[in-house]
Amino acid sequence: MNATPDEKPTFPNPCVRNCCLDENDVCLGCFRTLEEILHWSQSSNEQKQTILARCKQRRAQTNQN
């Protein structure tokens, strides 16, 4: 996340160029759902932060299995 004191934080696209969707339409590279991927560029910083938190949870669940 990069921001100067005057700017709102921005979140870089989390894509890791390992795109492959599982049976639930979740990317095995970045752990975003297809909907999250499609709407990333239109999402607010707050929405992006929420998406990234969900990705982190999905990754942790996958690593536990």
Mean pLDDT calculated for residue range 1-23 = 79
Q: What is the dihedral of CA 20, 17, 33, 28, to 10 degrees?
A: 50
The vertex-59 CA angle with 56 and 64, nearest 5°, equals 125
Q: pLDDT over 90 for what percent of the chain?
A: 77
Mean pLDDT calculated for residue range 3-26 = 83
pTM: 0.82
Quick one: the chain helix, strand, coil %, rounded to 5? Answer: 45, 10, 45
What confidence tens digit (pLDDT) does each residue in 21-47 have? 999 999 999 999 999 999 999 999 999
Task: Examine the pLDDT at 56 and tell me if it is beyond 60.
Answer: yes
CA nearest neighbour of 12 among 49, 39, 59, 53? 49
